[in-house]
Amino acid sequence: MTEELKDAESTIDSEESEPRGAPDDASPAETAPGIEELAGERDELKDLLLRKQAEFENFRKRTEKERAEFARYATAELMREMLNVLDSFELALRSDETETPADQKGFELIYKQLQDSLARAGLEAIEADGRPFDPNVHEAVSTQPAPEGVAAGTVLAELRRGYCLHGRLLRPTMVVVAADGGDEAG
Pick the more confident residue, 32 or 30.
32
Among 74, 105, 140, the domain boundary falls at 74
**pLDDT band at 186, cuts 50/70/90?**
very low
Residue 59 lies in a domain: yes
Residue 178 lies in a domain: yes
Distance between CA atoms of residues 158 and 94, nearest Å: 13
Share of the chain above pLDDT 90, in %: 35
Residue 166 and residue 184 share a domain: yes
Which residues does residue 140 pair with via DSSP β-bridges, in sequence order?
175
Range of the domain at 141: 124-186
pLDDT in tens, 105-128: 888 888 888 888 888 888 999 999
pLDDT in tens, 145-178: 988 888 889 999 999 999 998 888 999 999 999 9
Residue 163 and residue 136 share a domain: yes
Q: What is the mean pLDDT of the chain?
A: 80
Residue 178 and residue 134 share a domain: yes
Residue 91 lies in a domain: yes
CATH of the domain at 165: 2.30.22.10
pLDDT of 28 higher than 80: no
Residue 32 and residue 42 share a domain: yes
Residue 150 Ramachandran class (φ > 0 left, ψ -120 to 50 alpha, else beta): beta
Q: Average of pLDDT values for 134-144?
A: 93
Distance between CA atoms of residues 179 and 151, nearest Å: 8
* Tally of domains in the chain: 3
Provide the pLDDT for residue 78. 82
Phi first, then psi: give them for residue 183, nearest 5 degrees. Answer: -95, 65
Residue 94 lies in a domain: yes
Residue 13 lies in a domain: no
